[in-house]
Amino acid sequence: MRAELKMRRRNIALTVAYDGTNYNGFQRQNPPNVAVQNVLEERLAKIFGEQIELSASGRTDAGVHAIGQVVNFFTDGRIEIEKIPYAASGALPPDIVVKNAWEADKNFSALHSAQSKIYIYKIQRGAVLNPFMARYSWHIRADLDIELMQAALQMIVGTYDFSAFKAASSTNMNPVRTIYAAEIFNDVENILTIKIHASGFLYHMARNIVAAAVEVGRRRLTLEKFWQIFESKERKLFPATAPAHGLYLYKVFY
């Protein structure tokens, strides 16, 4: 964020939800691509009467959704804080929603102040898809052994080098992260949800964990082999990344 923007009086934070289907991810793009950030900045500028430059807790990929993305921005705009979600709902398209707004401390950064994040991933099981979940879950027809999947997820709870789950293209940032909790549950008929709470996520890490857990659930990968590959830190030994449209940035902790 440019330094002069920090001279503005208010640091406003928002919780944002979006259906990522129609966007080129969260992070600002050059036209004709449109990212969630482009739309948010453009519409917030109208509400605040000045150019807005957002910082987010992290980017999400094209097609990935958010239930609790957090952003912040500096502004001299005068709109009362509690009116922002309502004003935003008039200015934004229906697939991007400001759920909550608060006045943050001047030192708060949605990106740098984040302590941990939860992602969830939805899988729809069964021979026949529910068409109303097609945009919002990964459809898997094969049988999945949920207990084996839970066992695989339990294995990676802790502080580890997650190189085996980073994107093949990812650069050499520190690959050590802590997973605080990883679980799978089935509270809605035919919908499995995988929930992962971690100190941070390498690029594609959540979708790569899901893809590997699904291979375990399909009994195409034993728990022993899963652990061997994880320990080998070799991305290329794990299966392809799970599709973007099952993934949701669920919550950011500060």
The catalytic residues are 61
CB 161: neighbour CB atoms within 10 A? Answer: 15
Tokens of 85: 């979600």
Shortest Cβ distance from residue 75 to a copy of itself (Å)?
20
Among 91, 129, 223, 237, binds a copy of itself (CB under 8 A): 129
Tokens of 134: 């097609």
The answer to whether residue 17 forms part of the interface with a copy of itself (CB under 8 A) is yes
The whole-angstrom separation of Cα 139 and Cα 198 is 25
Shortest Cβ distance from residue 35 to a copy of itself (Å)?
15
Q: Among residues 241, 176, 179, which one has the least CA distance to residue 211?
A: 241
The answer to whether residue 130 forms part of the interface with a copy of itself (CB under 8 A) is yes
Among 43, 65, 207, 235, binds a copy of itself (CB under 8 A): 65
Residues 75-104 that bind a copy of itself (CB under 8 A): 85-86, 89, 94-99
The answer to whether residue 50 forms part of the interface with a copy of itself (CB under 8 A) is no
Exposed/middle/buried for residue 200 (C-beta within 10 Å: 0-12, 13-18, 19+)? middle
The answer to whether residue 243 forms part of the interface with a copy of itself (CB under 8 A) is no
Shortest Cβ distance from residue 213 to a copy of itself (Å)?
23
* DSSP bridge pairs for 140: 125
The answer to whether residue 132 forms part of the interface with a copy of itself (CB under 8 A) is yes
**Residue 23 DSSP symbol:** S
The answer to whether residue 143 forms part of the interface with a copy of itself (CB under 8 A) is no
Residue 204's region, left for phi above 0, alpha for psi from -120 to 50, else beta, is left
Q: How many residues does the chain have?
A: 254
CB 180: neighbour CB atoms within 10 A? Answer: 14
| Secondary structure of residue 100 in the 3-state scheme | strand
The answer to whether residue 138 forms part of the interface with a copy of itself (CB under 8 A) is no
The answer to whether residue 175 forms part of the interface with a copy of itself (CB under 8 A) is no
The answer to whether residue 18 forms part of the interface with a copy of itself (CB under 8 A) is yes
Shortest Cβ distance from residue 243 to a copy of itself (Å)?
11
The answer to whether residue 3 forms part of the interface with a copy of itself (CB under 8 A) is no
Residues 190-209 that bind a copy of itself (CB under 8 A): none
Q: Calculate ∠ Cα 93-99-104, nearest 5°.
A: 120
The answer to whether residue 136 forms part of the interface with a copy of itself (CB under 8 A) is yes
The whole-angstrom separation of Cα 109 and Cα 51 is 18
The answer to whether residue 23 forms part of the interface with a copy of itself (CB under 8 A) is no
Q: Which residues of the shown chain bind a copy of itself in the complex (CB under 8 A)?
A: 17-19, 65, 85-86, 89, 94-99, 127-132, 134, 136, 139
